[in-house]
Amino acid sequence: MTPQVTSTGTKATRVIGALALVGLGWLLLFGLVLSPPDENQGEAVRMLYLHVPTVWLAYLAFGVTALGSIFYLIPKTRSLAWDRLAGASAEIGVLFTGLTLVAGAIWGRITWGVYWTWDARLTTTALLFVLFLGYLAIRRLPATPGQRAKRCAIAGLIAFIDVPLVHLSVTWWRTLHQPATIKTIGDVEISGSMLFTLFVGLIAFNLVYIWLMMHKMRVMMMEDALDDHGLELALEERRAEAELQEVVP
């Protein structure tokens, strides 16, 4: 039975939403005012503080989708709650992948002179966007909840294969895209206020992801409850029709 949910807002969502707003405010302050321009890219480096967090959230969101898909496919942990988690995270992942492509196009115009080129990183990212749009389309196909969840779990895992391809594309192929700014904990290409600003952005965007996930999960629970109620009404109508047929010869 789907838990009864009447609103997407809770005390937790309000607290996390407020923290996310504070984090985004800090990001704007440091990203646009306090952090210095880069020696090579100049003021264009400020796009980094938006571009990197959106990429990270796309990875995170699709990773959660893959995780939810795996747990749904395992018989011992199979639950529609995992399907809802996967679906909610995929929607957010598509949103932030779209933002990644837009921010990357603007950055590319500034640094390369073109908005788009069939670079390995850009191409695999565009493919990731299309794959998860397809995943969301599959979720809209008519099916029972169980059928939908199984199809989507398989589709989500297939689509997730592209995530490591996106991340490693700058290593595996010759590409215009710059290498990773932060490779490991001890291998970082930037420092000082620029590094601090980047981490402020990552924290702020993580809070935004959590806030969106909490709201989207509750929306999906409300949709499932509405579907359950509609099914109950349909069954009651069929019982009433059957009883009427028994009374009236």
pLDDT confidence of residue 68: 96
Any idea which of 59-68, 181-190, 213-222 has the lowest mean pLDDT?
A: 181-190
Looking at every residue in the chain, the average pLDDT score rounds to 82
Q: What angle do CA 8, 13, 18 make, to 5 degrees?
A: 135
The pLDDT assigned to 237 comes to: 52
| Percentage, residues of the chain above pLDDT 90 | 45
Q: What pLDDT, on the 0 to 100 scale, is given for residue 129?
A: 97
Ranges of H-type helices in 117-191: 120-139, 145-160, 162-172
The count of other CB atoms within 10 Å of the CB of residue 140 is: 8
pLDDT tens digits, 59-89: 999 999 999 999 999 999 999 999 999 999 9
Residue 27 near residue 204 (C-beta atoms within 8 A): yes
> Over 60: is that where the pLDDT of 4 sits?
no
Task: Provide the whole-model pTM.
Answer: 0.82
The secondary structure element, H or E, covering residue 188 is strand 187-188
Say yes or no: domain 11-247 is CATH 1.20.120: yes
Position 245 confidence tier, pLDDT thresholds 50, 70, 90: low
Q: Where exactly are the structural domains of the chain? A: 11-247
User: Lowest-confidence range among 166-170, 220-224, 230-234?
Assistant: 230-234
pLDDT band at 115 (very low <50, low <70, confident <90, very high): confident
Give pLDDT, residue 235. 45
Rounded to an integer, the average pLDDT of 199-224 is 89
pLDDT score of 43: 77
CA-based nearest residue to 39, from 182, 233, 192, 235: 192
Report how far residue 106's alpha carbon sits from residue 97's, in angstroms, rounded to the nearest whole number. Answer: 14
Residue 185's pLDDT band, with cuts at 50, 70 and 90, is very low
- Closest by CA to 57, choosing from 101, 23, 4, 96, is 96
* CB distance 93 to 131 below 8 Å: no
The more confident residue out of 94 and 231 is: 94
The confidence score (pLDDT) of residue 7 equals 62
- Non-local (6+) Cβ contacts of 147 within 8 A are none
pLDDT score, position 1: 47
CA distance 185 to 67: 25
Q: What is the average per-residue pLDDT within 197-221?
A: 91
At 231 the pLDDT is 43
User: What pLDDT sits at residue 106?
Assistant: 87
Kindly state the average pLDDT of the residues 113-137.
91
SS3 142: coil
